Chain A
C-alpha cells in the first residue's frame, strides 16, 4: 500500500516562512492534496496538485514532483492562527478506479511569537 512520510512536528516564528515536506510512493499515484486540521476539528482543503510544479494560493503554495514522489507545502507570512496539523494525502488509482485518499499522519506546526 501507499506509505506517506511527513515530519511529525515543526516550529516556526510568526511572520516567517515554513516548508512542510511530504514523500510518497509513486506507483499508482494520481494526485496530491494538502489539508489543514486544527485540533479537534475537521480537516479543511488547502490545495491539490496533479501536475509537476508550484501552485500558489495567497500565503500558501504547494509543489509537486511526480518523478521524485515529493511534495511540499509552503506557508508565508506565518500567523498564529496557522498553528495546526497539515495533512498530506495521496490519490491512488488501481485497476478498479480511485482507491480513496491515503493520508500521512500529519505535521503539527507550532507558531511562536
Chain B
C-alpha cells in the first residue's frame, strides 16, 4: 500500500459524458501527478501539481482538466468522453515535486467509456 488513495476504483460511463476522478496523496506529500495508461500507449504523463499550483504539463487533452485543493487532494475532470478515453488513470504523489523524487502511485481508476 503506497498511501495514495484514488476513488472510484471503477467507472463505467457513456460517450459525451463528464466524470471526475479523485486522488489523495500520501501524508506529507505536496505534489500530485496524473497519468493515463492504455494498452497501446503505455503510461502517459498528463499533469503535475505542487501545493495547489500547476507545475508541469504533459500530453493532457483540452477536454481534460485538473486541480489540487488546499487540503492537497486532487481531481481530474474528463469531459466530452470518447471511446478512446477508456484507460486506467493513475495518480501519484511525491514529497516536494522534484523530478528526481520517487513517485508513489495509487491503485488507479479504471474508466470504461461505452
Contact = CB atoms under 8 A, between A and B. Distances in A.
Interface of A: 30-31, 33, 41-45, 48, 50, 87, 89, 91, 93, 96-106
Contacts of B90: 42-43
Given A30-B99, A43-B90, A101 B45 contact: yes
B98 interface: yes
B43 interface: yes
B8 interface: no
10 contacts: A31-B99, A42-B107, A44-B2, A87-B42, A91-B100, A98-B99, A100-B56, A101-B33, A103-B44, A105-B41
Nearest to A92: B99
Interface residues of B, number: 26
Interface string B71-85: 000000000000000
Nearest to B90: A42
Interface centre among A33, A42, A43, A104 (most CB of B within 10 A): A42
Main secondary structure of the interface of A (DSSP, over half): strand
Contacts of A104: 42
B43 A44 contact: no
Contacts of A50: 100
B21 to A, nearest CB: 14
B45 to A, nearest CB: 4
Contact of B108 (A42, A48, A93, A97): A42
Smallest CB-CB A-B distances: 5 pairs: A98-B99, A105-B42, A42-B105, A100-B45, A103-B43
